[in-house]
Chains A and B, each alone.
Chain A
Amino acid sequence: MTGRRRVTPHGLAAALRLRETGIVIALAAVCVFFSIRATNFLTLDNWQDIAKEVAIVVAVGVGETMVVLTRNIDLSVGSMVGLTAYLTADTLAQHNGAPLALIALLAVGVGIGLGLVNGLLVAVARIPAIIATLATLAIYRGIAFEVTGGQRIAAFQLPDRFLELAASKPAGLPTLAWIALGVALAGGVALRLAPWGRDLYAIGSNPEAARLAGIPARRRVIAAFVVSGALSGLGGFMWAARFPTVDAVAATDFELAVITAVVIGGVNVFGGSGTVLGAVLGAVLVATIANGFTLLRLSEFWKIFFNGLAIVVAVTIDALVTQRLQEALRRRRAEVLAARHQEAEA
């Protein structure tokens, strides 16, 4: 799909800008709806809650986006977050005075190791990503069970300055959200500007062509999985700060939240198209919908239903808007071409 658009760099930029229009409109519609219907939806407090809610999803989602761009998928992120969250909490519980940056690095390091295993399984052992990471989802979770031995780390074992990460709001934005914002910016810039970032798009759009063009596809795919692992490690660190009762089942099913955000954000699961901005917007959209319906004093059960329905509606709005805009773009381009050929036809 994007392969064609990538032919002209100018068209690419235009299309990327267009790609988010649909989801922004969907998000705007959701916000308008809830600000009319729900009390306290438009308060600062509530948006701080939403920011905190999406922070971990965004941090992990940036890595997932890179993997999905290469026409792969990483289903093991929930297990990696859970495992690193426990290791983070466990280490801090034993070394209360350890510098937090060091602990975060440790979590990221473990994540890199886990991500590297995923990358090798996919790129070297040639196991389809969905199967490889389905397997490591089970294996990493199993390791978490073995490591914890059915025990848990509780908040009282953790130092206050660590728990403060989840409570503090410098400049009005929760610290966790600042971290996520930093990750998203770095990821977005890397994908847009770094040569290897562009390689990911090329690999996802057309693996054969990418190989012929001399892109080291295998190394790039491994790198994408390593980034996903690293950010899952960071996500685990954040998780332990936000939910400081950590046990073997921490972040179970979290991969579903991450993949939902990425997919709703318009990252194509068949690779090659999508942006970090889209994934962030996807995460915000999903969290806003969940938040809004919780604020409406609705029956619990209808809430779950409308929550899902709203996602479907948002996807539909996004798709329709995108289709329209692309059509308009194509028509305009065709008109320009036609005009060049025959000045009479304008």
Chain B
Amino acid sequence: MKGKRLLVLLSLVAIAALAAGLAAGVGSAGESRANPTGKSYKIFFLPKFIGIGVFTENGKGGKEAGKELGDTVVYNGPTEPVGAKQVPFIESAVRQGFDAIVISAPDANAVAPALLRARARGVKVVSYDGDVRPDAREIFVSPPLASDIGAFQVEWLGSQIGYKGEFAILSATPTAANQNTWIKWMKVALKKPKYRNMKLVKIAYGNDKPVDSARETQALLQAYPNLKGIIAPTTVGISAAAQVLSQEGACGKVALTGLGLPNEMRKFVKKGCARKFGLWNERDFGYLAVYVAHHVLDGTITGKIGETFKAGRLGTRQVVNCAGVKPCVVLGKPLVFTPQNIDKFNF
């Protein structure tokens, strides 16, 4: 009996050791590729967190760009969107001698001291998606302009509800900088005479979690019986909201728009739960961010407004001032998905 227990214990230890060894093996597999035409760089790609679709796509695009440029791109990060958990990854990238860090930050400030230390040691920092404190990076790569993202969503909703009636916003977390910026631009857009009959009654927060987003959506339906529409500028929020509308049989009665992934929304678009929403190509987004990092490293981009550079298959791009955020590079106008075109997209 005792011997048997010991055996089990030992085998458990062995399994743990094996797992560790396995992990070590996986880790040592690096990839590098020489570029005959230019210098090759090591770029660390740090998303808000790993494991969800959009960041995986960003990472794939980043690696694709790295391959074309002959750069080594390592995609890694924490498993939760927590700024404090990004910091050890920044420190580690610096110690390993990476030339640049491409980062999307859930907390613009929490990573700033670490990024400043990195820059002091010559590492270039490019932020994308979730910007960091301006003094902690060289340049920001924006999805479509924040003002566009805000205004477009108001228009997408307005066109569905005849520019009239109460609506709510289902956001992610109250601390999400990009969400807050977009909401700010929505409010700016709402001042236009065209939208004067649309009334924003509530901003709810679903914390980018399906459970919370679903509960908030249900509550919106209960608490605002006259609700005509919901804008959810988050992929998690819009998909949970669509699910609730479909389960409650409220599709058509309450219009839904926002930012969503075509694959996650396809079913609900066909059911008529969301007839118009948008997003951008997440793979291109990561691709562009790595191109920007490369050109910051080779000196093509110094941060002056008006500089141009070549971004592979995305063509020639320009450094601009994104409504006060500068220097900045813009990915492009948002893609708009409708029942007619949704099947053309697969991401």
Residues of B within 8 A of A253 (CB): 209
B96 to chain A, nearest CB (A): 22
Expressed in whole angstroms, the Cα–Cα distance for A244 and B271 within the complex equals 15
Interface centre among A43, A49, A141, A254 (most CB of B within 10 A): A49
CB interface residues, B 192-221, toward A, < 8 Å: 202-205, 209-211, 214-216, 218-219
Contact of A245 among B55, B202, B239 (CB under 8 A): B239
Q: How far is the CA of A156 from the CA of B273 in the complex (A)?
A: 13
Whether the pair A243, B240 counts as a contact (CB closer than 8 A) is yes
The answer to whether the Cβ of A2 comes within 8 Å of any Cβ in the partner chain is no
Q: Which residues of B contact A249 (CB under 8 A)?
A: 49, 51-52, 79
**A340 located at the interface, meaning its Cβ lies under 8 Å from any Cβ of chain B in the complex:** no
Whether A252 is near chain B, meaning CB under 8 Å from some CB there, is yes
What is the CA–CA distance of A253 and B79 in the complex, to the nearest angstrom?
13
Contact A297 B202 (CB under 8 A): yes
Nearest chain A residue, comparing its CB with the CB of B5: A124
In the complex, B8 has a CB within 8 A of chain A: yes
In chain A, residues 221-272, which have Cβ atoms closer than 8 Å to a Cβ of chain B?
Answer: 242-245, 247-250, 252-254, 257
Contact A150 B53 (CB under 8 A): yes
Within 8 Å by CB of A291, from B12, B209, B219, lies B219
Residues in chain A near residue B267, CB distance under 8 A: 154-156, 163
Bound-complex Cα distance A53 to B210 (A): 12
B53 touches A49 (CB 8 A): no
A316 at the interface (CB under 8 A from B): no
A323 at the interface (CB under 8 A from B): no
* In the complex, chain A residues whose CB is within 8 Å of the CB of B222: 39-40, 43, 45-46, 49, 295
Q: Is B178 part of the contact surface with A, judged by Cβ < 8 Å?
A: no
Q: Decide if A40 touches B223 in the complex (CB within 8 Å).
A: yes
> CB-CB < 8 A to B5: which residues of A?
124
Q: Which of A148, A155, A294 contacts B268 (CB 8 A)?
A: A155
- Option from B56, B223, B240, B266 in Cβ contact (under 8 Å) with A294: B223
CA distance A242 to B210 in the complex (A): 9
Q: Which residues of B contact A242 (CB under 8 A)?
A: 214, 243
A253 to B81, CA, bound (A): 13
B52 in contact with A295 (CB, 8 Å): no
B246 close to chain A: CB less than 8 A? yes
227-246 of chain B: CB within 8 A of chain A: 236, 239-240, 243, 246
Q: Is the CB of B79 within 8 A of A124?
A: no
Q: Interface of chain B, helix or strand or loop or mixed?
A: helix
Complex contacts, B246 vs chain A, CB 8 Å: 163, 167
B9 touches A245 (CB 8 A): no
> Which residues of chain B have C-beta atoms less than 8 A from A245's C-beta?
210, 236, 239-240, 243, 264
Quote the shortest CB–CB distance from A160 to chain B (angstroms).
9
* A125 lies within 8 A of B9 (CB): yes
User: Which of B49, B202, B246 has the largest number of chain A CB atoms within 10 A?
Assistant: B246
Say whether A152 faces chain B, with CB atoms less than 8 Å apart. Answer: yes
| Chain A nearest CB, measured from B97 CB (Å) | 26
Is B80's CB within 8 Å of the partner chain A?
A: yes
Give, as a whole number of angstroms, the nearest-CB distance from A174 to chain B: 8
**With the chains together, A154 CA to B347 CA distance in Å?**
10
Task: State how many angstroms separate the Cβ of A243 from the closest Cβ of chain B.
Answer: 4
Q: With an 8 A cutoff between CB atoms, is B261 at the interface?
A: yes
Contact check, B52 vs A247: say whether CB atoms are below 8 A apart: yes
- The closest CB in chain A to the CB of B238 belongs to A245
Q: How far is the CA of A294 from the CA of B220 in the complex (A)?
A: 8
Given contacts A125-B8, A155-B267, contact A300 B174 (CB under 8 A): yes
> If the complex has contacts A250-B210, A300-B203, A300-B205, are A151 and B56 also in contact, measured as CB distance less than 8 A?
yes
Shortest C-beta distance, A239 to chain B (Å), equals 9
Report how far A106 CA is from B12 CA in the complex, Å.
26
Q: Given contacts A294-B215, A297-B202, is CB(A247)–CB(B239) below 8 Å? A: no
Q: Hey, which chain A residues are within 8 Å of B214, CB to CB?
A: 242-243
- Assess whether B55 is in contact with A150, with CB atoms less than 8 Å apart: yes
Measured CB to CB, the closest approach of chain B to A153, in angstroms, equals 9
Q: Are A247 and B53 closer than 8 Å at their CB atoms?
A: yes
Chain B 249-269: CB-based contact to A (< 8 A → 1; otherwise 0): 100000000000101101110
Q: How many angstroms from the CA of A154 to the CA of B248 in the assembled complex?
A: 19
Determine if A179 is an interface residue (Cβ-Cβ < 8 Å): no
> Distance (Å) between the CB of A81 and the closest chain B CB?
11
1/0 per residue, CB under 8 A from A, across B72-102: the answer is: 0000000110000000000000000000000
Q: What are the residues of chain B within 8 A of A300 when measuring CB–CB?
A: 174, 203-205
Contact assessment for A154 and B223 in the assembled complex, using a CB-CB cutoff below 8 Å: no
Q: CB within 8 Å of B: which residues of A?
A: 38-40, 43, 45-46, 49, 52-53, 120-121, 124-125, 141, 145, 148-152, 154-156, 163, 166-167, 242-245, 247-250, 252-254, 257, 290-291, 294-295, 297, 300-301
Going nearest first, the 10 A-B pairs with the smallest beta carbon separation are A150-B56, A294-B219, A156-B266, A243-B210, A248-B51, A156-B267, A167-B247, A155-B267, A154-B264, A40-B222
New A-B contacts (16) at CB < 8 Å, excluding given A247-B51, A295-B223: A120-B8, A125-B8, A125-B12, A145-B79, A151-B56, A155-B266, A156-B267, A156-B270, A243-B211, A244-B243, A245-B243, A247-B53, A248-B52, A297-B202, A300-B204, A300-B205
